[in-house]
Copies of this chain bind each other. A is one copy, B any other.
């Protein structure tokens, strides 16, 4: 080892042609993942969990492998990774295919700047991140200024985090410590009240429940407001809760949802903000999904009115903004909010220290994660990104219309933007069921039947590797199914339109796989539901020619 000979082959000097060649091969493999070539042009190549586990059996290897085998290994990993940027991937919006964001991402890895070490590592990186945070403030509608006017870290009114979960957590922690500053020294057990948050449990993200646990507040101290049929927070119920708790003064935060993670429906933020102002309560807007709309003045006006009134906002560029994980930001109306978490209040106020880690809870040494989105905005500009987001909105409407027009599916909600959740419940079958008086048992059987076929279709599409939709369980809050089973959750399939490279042609192609399966199972679901309703009695023909010509 003393000779240093082996060392120099395995660590980057930046001076050898073989390194350049090696990394260019990695780029080549990466682009083959984007093109689909690496996985035979499928969205995915299916294998069972057991198969993967069986193959990856090795314990810690004593010896290494050569570089050709390394490249083969990466190729195989690419082959069995699911591509969220494939045109037939319509499950989730994390396409991460901005060319400029990817360039920023790769370069940031070579730089490996440490954002807690301003003057030993991340000099220009620190200020680029601060500039980006100003840009995000400007997008939200918070006060903003040119970076040249920033005098100290205490003015940095937002921070990078790893994801929406963390952004939401830090927002709650901020509101909590704002109201009860004694926690820092004495802890929660010193308080005379039990702090509580208010959110609409059926539409809020699970991270709030986790945060209540992790912060030591307890899940029992979440107050859940009703959800409306359109998957938004019920304003009357919210106001009643706040009114009721005025006396005990124990509510420290309200959460409004700007795009819930299931249907992406958006709360009336402006109205919620007014209620919060009236009751002097911290408002957090969870815009992890909806945040990308800020780039379009038109869509911001349509969906996010009033967001600038929020005390904190969570943004998640790795969702719906074409950049890789991790990229999330939690933003604060009050610029110096983060100062309450520092060990060095004086130095971060007087401009002596520029170590971002001094004001960012949970993150010490960390990389230059902001370069990617900063570079994308720099390269493309706000106006262009606004147009991309508007085009995505049109694409989503196109898909929504196709799903509706097929008459094979029942949507659980009207679409606010980009995401839709629906079940396989053909409209002709539904229209017959709707006319019958059903027992509770029959209702549950019909639900099971809808669940079964919804899952079956989705799973078959998934395993084929032709197209990939999302799947999860959802309350039928608006009773669009009409079975009035409010406590049950349905298996839904879901589409999110996230990839800017979709075209009407590509989307039609993706949907054709779905419609083909839907057609295939039409007679089967008809027959089963017929049996549930007319058990033992004469069966009716439920199928009518309601789909596009020739589909039945």
Contacts and interface: CB of A to CB of B under 8 A. Distances in A.
A187 B365 contact: no
A384 B111 contact: no
13 contacts: A9-B99, A23-B103, A30-B109, A54-B148, A56-B128, A57-B146, A61-B377, A64-B378, A67-B379, A74-B375, A80-B123, A96-B112, A207-B364
A449 interface: no
Given A70-B379, A216-B215, A23 B27 contact: yes
Given A14-B36, A77-B371, A111-B77, A325 B366 contact: yes
Nearest to A177: B213
Nearest to A9: B99
A354 interface: yes
Interface stretch (A162-170, A266-274, A302-310, A518-526): A162-170
Contacts of A213: 183-184, 341
Interface string A19-38: 11011101111111111110
Contact of A12 (B4, B102, B189): B102
A119 B501 contact: no
Counting from the closest, the 6 A-B pairs by CB-CB distance are A14-B34, A187-B218, A30-B110, A14-B35, A325-B367, A216-B216
A440 interface: no
Given A35-B13, A99-B12, A94 B365 contact: yes
Interface residues of A, number: 176
A221 to B, nearest CB: 6
A326 interface: yes
A436 to B, nearest CB: 35
A523 to B, nearest CB: 28
Contacts of A326: 162, 326, 366-367
Interface string A180-191: 000111111111
A534 interface: no
Contacts of A13: 34-35, 501
B391 A2 contact: yes
Contacts of A218: 183-190
A380 interface: yes
Interface in A101-141: 102-107, 109-114, 117-128, 130-131, 134-135, 138-139
A378 B218 CA distance: 42
Q: Which of A35, A103, A128 has the most CB of B within 10 A?
A: A103
B70 A106 contact: no
A117 B468 CA distance: 13
B26 A62 contact: no
Stoichiometry, as copies per complex, reads 2
Contacts of A209: 343
Given A162-B366, A214-B362, A107 B78 contact: yes
Contact of A19 (B31, B36, B379): B31
Given A60-B377, A62-B381, A63-B383, A325 B114 contact: yes
Contacts of A28: 20
Contact of A381 (B30, B63, B325): B63
B128 A60 contact: no
A64 to B, nearest CB: 4
A8 B391 CA distance: 13
A508 B532 CA distance: 85
Contacts of A189: 188-189, 191, 194, 218
Q: Which of A8, A11, A94, A98 has the most CB of B within 10 A?
A: A11
A125 to B, nearest CB: 6
A497 to B, nearest CB: 14
A426 interface: no
Given A61-B381, A162-B162, A318-B365, 15 more contacts: A23-B103, A24-B24, A30-B110, A33-B110, A49-B118, A58-B147, A64-B379, A85-B112, A92-B120, A94-B112, A162-B362, A187-B216, A189-B191, A189-B218, A214-B215
Nearest to A110: B30
Nearest to A210: B361
Contacts of A217: 187-188, 216
Contacts of A111: 30, 33, 77-78, 81
Nearest to A371: B77
